[in-house]
């Protein structure tokens, strides 16, 4: 039972990471029908920026203001930086390609991903880096028979708060409605007065920023980061997007959570080595039997 609960918490934690990253994929895919391969690398870049901040400002931040401030500062810096990077990448690498169609856009996204990933490798080196131990809060809590770290709870809390906030934003505000409308029917949305460029700017600042925040949290949680993490997290997060239903933004979050839990339970009860295979198999089965994802996408084709 204890193992189950611990794995459940682990699963929800990593699931919330997938979910937050998946949001970025889902928003971009919903509006542009583009698989933004570079999104995983936004996440990685955010993680590395947080790392750099913590390493170089460690004296000030963690010594004087405590590791929590350090973490929040890293998240803020990463998020703001990636919000900028996201818009720049869209402007430079994607916008000129839209008229050429979907496949060229995908290739361009792959190109952008390669560039960012290799720039990370060039700047920070090909070996693993680790978030400095001094930057990690090491408060432990005991609740009955279960032990958690304060960090874990904080991360879960922050992640869920972010997801709740995103859910509210997408479902209940006009900004969110604009994004959803554009995803459903771009031309009609434009006719209704929705400024397409603004929607683009919105999703390419919010998505990468969220990804970057998540990157810092991952860095704090697992400590080790590598320049290939964008690839691995990105692929999982994208499958979470599909699991939730393409273009279904809240669905992406739930898809991430489910994916994380399934992955952790699989690694605990099936085998760690085969957990990824298990996860992909689940995805494929879902697509065979429920092709529009678990929560359904909102597109239909009229003949």
Partner 1 sequence: MSAHLPVSLAAGLRRAGLPLVLALFAVYPFAAGAYFVDVGFFFGIYALLGLSLNIVLGEVGLYDLGHAGFYAIGAYTTAILNTRFGIPVLLLLPVSALAAGLFAYLVTSPVIHLRGDYLCIVTIGMGEIVRLALINNPFGLTGGPNGVYGIAAPSLGFWVLDSSREHYFLVWIVVGLAILALRRLQRSRIGRAWNCIREDEVAAQATGIDVRRHKLLAFVLGAVLAGVAGNLYAGKLMVVSPESFTFWESCLMFCIVLIGGMGSVPGVVIGAAAISLFPEIFRPFATYRMVVFGLAMILMMMFRPGGFWPRRRGGLEARDLLARLWRRHD
Residue 121 near residue 227, CB atoms below 8 Å = yes
As given in the structure block, the two tokens for residue 53 are 């901040």
Cβ closest to partner 1, residue 108 vs residue 159: 108
Closest listed residue to residue 198, CA positions, set 210, 185, 209, 189: 189
Cβ closest to partner 1, residue 219 vs residue 244: 244
Q: Give residue 233's Cα distance to chain centre.
A: 8
Of residues 162-191, those binding partner 1 (CB under 8 A): 185-186
Q: How far is the CB of 127 from partner 1 (least distance, A)?
A: 15
First to last CA, the chain: 52
Cβ closest to partner 1, residue 20 vs residue 38: 38
- Residue 143 contacts partner 1 per CB under 8 A: no
As given in the structure block, the two tokens for residue 36 are 């933004």
- Residue 276 contacts partner 1 per CB under 8 A: yes
Alpha-carbon distances of 126 from 110, 121, 191, 269, rounded to whole Å? 20, 5, 49, 33
Alpha-carbon span 154 to 259, nearest angstrom:
21
Residue among 60, 139, 164, 284 that touches partner 1 (CB under 8 A): 284
Of residues 202-231, those binding partner 1 (CB under 8 A): 231
Please tell me whether residue 263 adopts helix, strand or coil conformation.
helix
224 forms beta bridges with 130
Q: How far is the CB of 134 from partner 1 (least distance, A)?
A: 31
Cβ closest to partner 1, residue 28 vs residue 136: 28
* Residue found by looking up tokens 């879902």 in the block: 286
- Residue 288 contacts partner 1 per CB under 8 A: yes
Of residues 52-111, those binding partner 1 (CB under 8 A): 93, 96-97, 99-105, 107-108, 110-111
Which chain residues interact with partner 1 by CB under 8 A? 33, 35, 93, 96-97, 99-105, 107-108, 110-115, 117-119, 122, 185-186, 231, 235, 238-239, 242, 246, 273-274, 276-277, 280-281, 283-284, 287-288, 291, 299, 301, 303
């Amino acid at each position: 039972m204890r193992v189950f609960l611990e794995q459940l918490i682990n699963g929800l934690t990593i699931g919330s990471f997938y979910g937050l990253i998946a949001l970025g994929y889902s928003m971009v895919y919903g509006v542009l029908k583009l698989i933004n391969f570079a999104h995983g690398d936004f996440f990685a870049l955010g993680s590395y920026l947080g790392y750099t901040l913590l390493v170089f400002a460690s004296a000030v931040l963690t010594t004087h203001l405590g590791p929590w401030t350090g973490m929040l500062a890293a998240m803020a810096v990463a998020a703001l930086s990636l919000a900028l990077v996201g818009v720049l990448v869209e402007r430079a690498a994607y916008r000129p390609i839209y008229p050429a169609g979907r496949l060229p856009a995908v290739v361009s996204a792959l190109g952008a991903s390669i560039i960012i990933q290799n720039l990370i490798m060039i700047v920070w080196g090909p070996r693993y880096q680790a978030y400095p131990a001094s930057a990690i809060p090491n408060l432990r809590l005991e609740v009955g028979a279960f032990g958690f770290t304060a960090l874990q709870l904080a991360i879960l809390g922050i992640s869920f708060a972010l997801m709740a906030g995103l859910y509210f934003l997408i479902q209940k505000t006009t900004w969110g409605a604009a994004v959803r409308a554009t995803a459903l029917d771009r031309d009609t949305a434009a006719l209704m007065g929705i400024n397409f460029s603004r929607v683009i700017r919105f999703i390419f600042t919010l998505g990468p920023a969220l990804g970057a925040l998540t990157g810092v949290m991952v860095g704090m949680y697992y400590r080790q980061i590598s320049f290939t993490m964008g690839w691995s997290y990105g692929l999982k997060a994208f499958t979470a997007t599909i699991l939730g239903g393409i273009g279904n933004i809240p669905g992406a979050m739930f898809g991430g959570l489910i994916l994380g839990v399934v992955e952790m339970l699989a690694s605990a009860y099936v085998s760690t080595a085969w957990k990824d295979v298990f996860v992909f198999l689940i995805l494929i089965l879902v697509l065979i039997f429920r092709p529009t994802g678990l929560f359904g996408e909102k597109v239909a084709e009229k003949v």
